[in-house]
Amino acid sequence: MTRDRKKALLALADGTVFEGYSLGAEGETWGEVVFNTAMTGYQEILTDPSYKGQIVTMTYPLIGNYGVNWEDVESRQPFVEGFIVKECSRITSNWRAEMGLDEYLRKHNIVGIQGIDTRELTMCIREAGAQTGVISTVDLDPGNLVAKARSLPTLEGRDLVKDVTCSERYQWQEGTWSLDRGYSRPSYNEDGLHIVAYDFGIKYNILRIFTQLGCRVTVVPAQTPAEEVLAMNPHGVFLSNGPGDPAPVSYAIENTRKLVGKVPIFGICLGHQILGLALGGRTYKLKFGHHGANHPVKDLATGKVEITSQNHGFVVDMESLGDRVEVTHINLNDHTVEGLRHKELPLFSVQYHPEASPGPHDSSYLFQRFIDMVKG
């Protein structure tokens, strides 16, 4: 780092305290502390609205070496509550970089900490579970910070979607990126497929892929009534990713229930959970969640194993769903549900992120599968 390193503390609700140095903005922040196993993609992680309410720990020891640019963001701003790394690179080396990671965090007032043993922190989270933590550069009393962490709310029962969704509907018109032209603006037929996407915290690359496939995409706020969506005459409805506990997002569950059977539906991450709840199921919280770009998922229909990008702390309980809904994908690490479909109606969803931002492209075929379903 080029600036003086200021002491910082991270305190967890279980009483564990780590001492390190300030990263990004100075001050104090709190949230549920989770770990992400991706080696790269920190800019996409920082701007993923699904991390609202959470402090992200990167398990890879050196972060920030290729800097930050304005093209690769996944939303309008960073949404993480805080950021934890073992070491933030002092060197930014990439021809597309426009600033360093530390400068980017300061610009967006994100409080972070570096210089702690992130392996020990990860083991702590794995053993004790994801829990509330506080990062501070202004209060360096460990006892005070632990008490704060214990007094703050958890993610369960909080509607965080309202904090990340768009304020009004809009049309998306940007395609995928290539080396020779950057992000394209592909043309589409006004009479072609019209997809309405609910923004529960949607990532831009999802919209880019739909546009690149020739779809006209209308993004609507999370609380948009189902009747208003149907009045747009969509060929299909997409339920996006988003942060936190799906159960308190009652308006999304109710609107999705009204759409079931009336239009083809595809859901990702929180959208998958919302769909499961709309079909009468339940969700529950995982001990420390799935966050990273290397999670193995098995397609039960083909037997194929995909390496997937994931970011979620809640999952659908398939035992709570009826016989008309079946599991399509499972996580090979803990055998939790990663995909479902209705046996009779045109709808399906996955818990992971096929848009690969960041992450592998193994699951990108799912977007075409939805397009084929809509056309059929």
Catalytically active residues are 269, 353, 355
195: which 2 tokens? Answer: 């997809």
Q: Phi then psi for 19, rounded to 5 degrees? A: -110, 130
Whether cis (ω within 30° of 0) applies to the bond prior to 358 is yes
338: which 2 tokens? Answer: 């990663």
Rg for the chain (alpha carbons), in Å? 20
| Cα dihedral across residues 190, 196, 200, 202: positive or negative | negative
Q: Phi then psi for 13, rounded to 5 degrees? A: -65, -25
Contacts of 371 (CB under 8 A, 6+ apart): 193, 213, 215
Nearest to 266 by CA among 234, 290, 289: 234
Contact 68, 106 (CB under 8 A): no
Give dist(CA 33, CA 125) in Å, integer: 8
What does the CA dihedral 86, 91, 94, 97 come to, rounded to 10 degrees? 90
Give dist(CA 46, CA 108) in Å, integer: 11
| Buried/exposed 69-97: b ≥16 CB within 10 Å, e otherwise | eeebbbbeebbbbbbbbbbbbeebeeeee
Burial of 30 (0-12, 13-18, 19+ CB in 10 A): buried
136: which 2 tokens? Answer: 């501070």
What does the CA dihedral 60, 122, 339, 304 come to, rounded to 10 degrees? 50
What is the CB neighbour count within 10 angstroms for residue 2?
7
Give dist(CA 227, CA 84) in Å, integer: 43
